[in-house]
Amino acid sequence: MKKLNLIIFFLSSNFLAITPSFAQNNYEQIEQIYHNYRSEIDNEYISEDLKVDEFLNGIPSDSEISEQEIKDVIRLLVYLENSDLNQKAINLLKTLIPKVKKSEIFQAFLFQTLGKIYHHQDELVSALENYLKASHRYESNNEFYPLVTIYRSISRINTEGQNYNQGLNYAELAHQIFQENPPRNRRDSILLRSIIDYKGLNNRRLSNHKKAIDNFNESIKMSRMLKDTVFVSIAKGNKAVSYFDLGMLDEALPLLIEDYTNSMKNEVYGSAFNAGIYLARVYQAQAKIEKMDSIFREIEQIHSEYNFSNPVAMTDYFLIAAALAENKGDYKKALDFYKEFEKVDLKRDSIAIQNDISGMQEKYLLDKEISKLELLQQTNELQASHLKLRTAFLIIIAIALLVVLWYVFRLRFKNRKIDRLNELLEAKVSERTARLLEINKELDTYLYRASHDIRRPIRTLLGLNNIAQLTEDNFQLKKLFHSVNVTAMGMDKMLFKLQMAYELNTTHDISKVDIEELIRECIDDMALEIKEHNSQISIDINPKANSVLANNSLLRIALDNIIENSMTYKNEGTNKIEISTDRGNHFFYIHVKDNGFGIDEKYFNDIFKAYFKISNKSPGSGLGLFLAHKAISFLEGEISVSSKVNEGSQFTIKIPLNPR
């Protein structure tokens, strides 16, 4: 409830500023207006029958909101404390923002408030979008102190999204504003300290350890001036992490102990947990296993009570736990911790949120440039009125020149036609030659990669054979034979793809292909893989799109590889794949939709390249989608992809109804 009241505070302070009579007030006046009205609004009776949708529907879409409606908004927000606050408050803000276009500062307040709500809900991209909109309006109105708060929030989002360069950039922008406009009070000083801390955190993550240590020293100095002993210890802990990264364990240890002790004493358990993690890592590096085990048991108790989720801290937590379990000989428990580490590490390494946050910032910068261009365009339009007569005169001259040129081109037309035919012939020869060179290059690449890819499973089989000769345990032998089977299946898949690559360069006859029969043949042949991946495949054949003129083998290659890709890159749980067909006036479509990992848009052009993988950790050979794309290109078709990360992908095969 305390958190909800805080959100209500920001919403209330912003909305009270919307009324037209307040239109000329600045940021500081808006805050004062809120304090003057708070007791009056809080003491009003709130009807339980007050509904959000009814209130919004009662506001005209083309008018500014009135002062009485402002009070109704505040009353409504108080009512929302005990209901679905976040989503209804978001809807309320989105409806009100377009109604305050006449005051950029008030509109900035609303965008800032909307950003804070999204930030509380960990919707970082939406929060960033609204913070950037608010910052643009504060910048244009020279409202520096709220702009500092916005820059600090943007820096925090980039830090959380692992965009450390952008996080450092916005922290430095905020720091620069404070250098030109010194803190006015204790609250400003605390905000400045927070900005310096974010500079230190981002410098440390970028391995700029000297700068990071200087930042944390400055934070320590400010915390002492503010007589804030807790943050003195926390800043020392941050400084100690830089020392640890530099291998200066003796310098890091006392600072971490101080941070951990004071954080526990003052019940700042998040800071205590992080300090404890690095204490354990120091003891591990010093081979003091008993101390490492002792401090880990303490932070394990903290984690059990507060369930921290910071991926950076949790990866270190699980690695320490695994090391301790392994030291005690509990290899099963160590393996469990390593698996948890891999889950968190995969989440931490996810590029999705980094790309989304970076994309949002690029979009914001683009919007700013577009605004400048629009202003320039308006200036050009004013100048254009003075150029109309000159333009008309130039058009007349241009028409006369075109008539003359037309006669000249008529005389040269026949010679050009002959030259064009010669050029087409030469282009055809060049195209054939280039094609042959491309095929030879692909064959060289296949042979080179195949030699390496075949040796890997062979070495694995030889290794498993050597292990099998050293054990007589039936259970272990059964596991070894299973590994042999998995390795052999992988080699078989790889060789089958090479066979597909060979078939692509043979003659491709065109005939009528029964699509449903072809799809079912693919599914029957992949029955073992479907069972292994817990996949459910549904087929929806449009009665008007059940057959097409094409090459059966090429379509089979494309479908095999796309379905295999959908099964390989699946999320946990049931892997659902939907295959459907459609028919247009000129093209035939086959859609393959899954609920797997999804693909970031920046890789759409790369996934069809030979041996391309998004990550070195990705399974598969990197040939599947390349072979599918190449097979469809022989049918004069194309494959397109639409995808959302963590929601799934849809591949669409498009081939002409009347191939040449």
Write down the pLDDT at residue 13: 41
The values of phi and psi at residue 511, to 5°, are: -150, 175
Task: Give the range among 245-249, 387-391, 539-543 with minimum mean pLDDT.
Answer: 387-391
Q: Please, which pLDDT band fits residue 93 given cuts at 50, 70 and 90?
A: confident
Distance of alpha carbon 559 from alpha carbon 637, whole angstroms: 14
Q: In CATH, what is the architecture of 510-656?
A: 2-Layer Sandwich (3.30)
How many CB atoms within 10 Å of residue 165?
11
Burial (CB < 10 A; 0-12, 13-18, 19+), residue 58, is exposed
Alpha-carbon span 580 to 578, nearest angstrom: 7
Answer with the residue of higher pLDDT: 4 or 499.
499
pLDDT of residue 619: 66
Using alpha carbons only, how large is the chain's radius of gyration in Å?
33
For residues 309-315, average pLDDT: 80
- Count of CB atoms situated within 10 Å of the CB of 36: 9
Average pLDDT for 609-630: 74
Q: Is the pTM of this model over 0.85?
A: no
Looking at the DSSP bridge assignments, the partners of residue 311 are none
Question: Which residues is 583 bridged to in the sheet?
Answer: 588
Taking CA atoms, 5 is separated from 1, 13, 149, 292, 535, in Å, by: 6, 12, 20, 41, 47
Highest mean pLDDT among 98-112, 142-156, 482-496: 142-156
Kindly state the percentage of the chain with pLDDT values over 90.
31
- What percent of the chain has a predicted confidence (pLDDT) above 70? 68
DSSP state of 194: H
Alpha-carbon distance 613 to 642, whole Å? 18
Question: Token pair of 249, please?
Answer: 């364990």
Question: What DSSP string runs through 625-656?
Answer: HHHHHHHHHHTT-EEEEEEETTTEEEEEEEEE
Provide the pLDDT for residue 588.
Answer: 95
Q: At what angle do helices 624-634 and 474-504 cross, to 10 degrees?
A: 30
Sequence ranges of the chain with CATH classification 3.30.565.10: 510-656
Are the C-beta atoms of residues 153 and 123 closer than 8 Å to each other? no
The three state secondary structure string of 472-500 is: CCHHHHHHHHHHHHHHHHHHHHHHHHHHH
| Opening angle at CA 240, ends 236 and 245, nearest 5 | 155
pLDDT at residue 88, rounded to an integer: 75
Q: Which of the two residues, 418 and 598, has the higher pLDDT score? A: 598
DSSP letter (8 states) at residue 608: T
State yes or no: pLDDT of 336 exceeds 70.
yes
Among 183-187, 372-376, 561-565, the minimum mean pLDDT is found in: 372-376
- Please state the rounded mean pLDDT for residues 452-481: 64
